[in-house]
Amino acid sequence: MKYLYLLIGIIAILAFCILFLISKLIGAKKQSDYIVSVLDDIEQGNMNRRVLAFNNDMTSNVCYKINAIVSHCQEQLMQNTSIEQANRQIMTSLSHDVKTPLTSLLGYMDAIQSGVVSGEEKDKYIEIAWRKAYDLKEYVDMLFDWFKLNSNEWQFSFEAIDINELTRNIIIGWIPVFEKSGFNYDISIEDKELCLQLDTKAYTRIINNLLNNVVLHSSGSLIKVGIEHDKNHVTVSIIDNGKGIPQSSIPYIFDRLYKQDKARNTKGSGLGLSIAQELIKAHNGSISVQSVQNERTAFIVHLPLAR
C-alpha cells in the first residue's frame, strides 16, 4: 500500500511540474506575442514603445536588452534629426551669405575685365575684389570645419606643445590686421615653456576664430591676450574694450549660426564661436564669456595642463 501512495505522490508531483511548465510556456507565449506586437509598433516608427517585464520573467533579460537597443536608436535618430536640421539651416545661410558677396565680387571683376575702370580706380577695384575673395575663402573654410566637426571627420592629432610659443606665433600673423583695423594690442604671455596636449591645427583655429570675432564685431580699439596657469589648468583670455554683448544674448553666443544682428547684414558666418567651442571640448576644456556693455568683453578658455 505504501508503494501505491508513493506512486500517487510521484504522479502528483509530476503532474504539478507539468502544469507549472505548461503555465510558464503559456506565459512565455503570451509574452513573446506581446514582444512581437511592440516590435511591430516600433518598426512602424513609434520609438516611444518599450517592452514591459517583471524581474522573475524568463524573458526579462531579452526585454531589457530590446529596450536598451530601442533607446539607443531613438537617441541616434534624434541626433541625426538635429544634424539634418543644422545642415539645412547652414545651407539656407550659405545661400544668403555667399550669394550676395559673390555677386558683388563678380561685379567688380566684370568692371575690371571690361575696362570700365582704369588707373587708380582700377587698383581700388582690384583691392576690393581681393578682399571680398578672402572673405569668401574664410567663410568656406568655416563651413568645411563645421561639417567635419559635425560628422566626426576632424582628424585630431594631439601632442605635447608649448602653448605660449604657439600662441605668440599665431598672434604675430594678426598684428597687421590689428593695425589695419585700428586696434592696439596688449600681449601677456610668459617666455618660459608651458606644455599642453594640443592639436596644433585645432588650437590655431580656436584662437583665430576668437580674434576674428573681436575684429569683426567688437567695435573696440584694444585687444588683450593673456595666458595664465595653475597646477591643473591653463587659462587663455582674449579681452576687448568694445561695445560688449547684451546679457540676453550671452546664453546663445556659442550656438551655431547665431548672430546678434537679426537683419543678418553684419560680417561673419555665425559659426566661428560654435566651432571654437567644439574644438575646445575636444581638448577636454571649456570656454566662457563675460561682458559689460560699452566697456569690455572677455572670452576665457580653460584647458587641462599636460601631465
Task: Render pLDDT for 155-176 as a digit per residue (tens, 0 to 9).
Answer: 889 999 999 999 999 999 999 8
Condensed to tens digits (0 to 9), the pLDDT of residues 80-108 reads 777 677 667 666 666 666 777 778 888 88
Say what the pTM is.
0.66
Q: 159-304 in CATH: which number?
A: 3.30.565.10
Q: What is the pLDDT of residues 139-158, one digit of tens each?
A: 777 777 877 877 777 888 99
Measured distance CA(19)–CA(184) in Å, rounded: 90
Average pLDDT over residues 237-266: 76
User: Poorest-confidence range of 18-27, 38-47, 283-292?
Assistant: 18-27
- pLDDT given at position 41: 73
Q: What integer is the mean pLDDT of 1-13?
A: 67
Confidence class of residue 265 from pLDDT cuts 50, 70 and 90? very low
Is the model's pLDDT at 224 over the cut of 90?
yes
- Alpha helices of the chain — where are they, by DSSP H? 2-43, 60-97, 99-114, 119-150, 163-180, 200-217, 272-282
Cα 200 from chain centroid?
18
Encode 268-288: b = buried (16+ Cβ within 10 Å), e = exposed. bbbbbbbbbbbbbeebebebe
Cα–Cα distance measured from residue 45 to residue 55, given in angstroms and rounded to the nearest whole number: 28
Question: Residue 162: helix, strand or coil by DSSP?
Answer: strand
Distance CA 193, CA 182 (A): 31
- pLDDT surpassing 60 at residue 1: yes
Determine the Cα–Cα distance for residues 283 and 277; give it in Å rounded to an integer: 10
Ranges of each domain in the chain: 2-78, 98-150, 159-304
pLDDT digits (tens, 9 = 90+) for 60-84: 777 778 778 878 887 877 777 776 7
pLDDT score recorded for residue 234:
94
* Predicted pLDDT at 174: 93
Q: How far apart are the first and last CA of the chain?
A: 85
Rounded Cα–Cα distance for residues 243 and 250 (Å): 14
Q: How far apart are CA 237 and CA 186, in angstroms?
A: 12
Q: Are strands 222-229 and 286-292 parallel, antiparallel or unpaired?
A: unpaired
Give backbone dihedrals phi and psi of 136, rounded to 5 degrees, phi first.
-65, -40
